[in-house]
C-alpha cells in the first residue's frame, strides 16, 4: 500500500510541476527560435515520399518480374512440362498393357533377348 501511495504522490507532484514549468502560451517560443527544425519535422524527413517511390517503382516492378519468371519457368516449363512428360510415359505404358496374353509373351521374349544381349556385352 505504501508503494501505491508514494507512486501516486510522485505522479501528482510531477503533473503539477509540468503544469507550472510548461504552461501553455499563445505562441510556441521554440518554433520562433528554430524555424528550420520545424520545417524539417513538418516534412517528416520525406519518409512517405521515399517509401511510396520505393514501393511503386522498385518493389512493384521487381514483383512483376518475379511473377513473370514464375509463370514462364516454374509453372510453364517445369510443372506443365514434367506433367506432359509423365503423361506421355503413361500413354506408352498403357500401350504396353493391352490385356492380351500373346502380347505379354512377345514382351517377355523381347526382354530375354535384351538381357542376353546385355550379358553378352553387345551394349
pLDDT (tens place) for every residue of the chain, 123 residues total: 799 999 999 999 999 998 888 777 777 776 777 777 777 777 777 888 889 999 888 999 999 999 999 888 888 888 888 888 999 998 888 877 778 888 889 989 999 999 999 999 988
Q: Which pLDDT value is given to residue 68?
A: 92
Distance of alpha carbon 61 from alpha carbon 54, whole angstroms: 10
This prediction's pTM: 0.41
What does the block give as the cell for 121?
Answer: 556385352
Its sign, for the CA torsion 6, 11, 12, 18, is positive
Distance of alpha carbon 7 from alpha carbon 11, whole angstroms: 6
Q: Which pLDDT value is given to residue 76?
A: 80
- Pseudo-torsion of CA 114, 118, 119, 120, nearest 10°? 100
Amino acid at each position: 500500500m505504501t508503494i501505491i501511495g508514494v507512486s501516486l504522490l510522485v505522479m501528482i507532484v510531477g503533473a503539477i510541476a509540468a503544469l507550472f514549468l510548461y504552461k501553455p502560451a499563445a505562441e510556441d517560443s521554440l518554433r520562433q527560435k528554430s524555424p528550420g527544425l520545424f520545417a524539417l519535422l513538418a516534412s517528416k524527413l520525406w519518409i512517405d515520399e521515399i517509401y511510396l517511390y520505393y514501393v511503386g517503382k522498385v518493389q512493384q516492378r521487381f514483383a512483376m518480374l518475379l511473377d513473370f519468371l514464375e509463370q514462364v519457368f516454374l509453372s510453364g516449363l517445369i510443372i506443365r512440362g514434367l506433367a506432359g512428360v509423365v503423361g506421355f510415359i503413361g500413354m506408352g505404358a498403357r500401350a504396353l498393357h493391352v490385356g492380351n496374353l500373346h502380347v505379354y509373351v512377345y514382351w517377355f521374349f523381347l526382354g530375354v533377348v535384351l538381357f542376353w544381349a546385355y550379358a553378352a556385352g553387345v551394349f
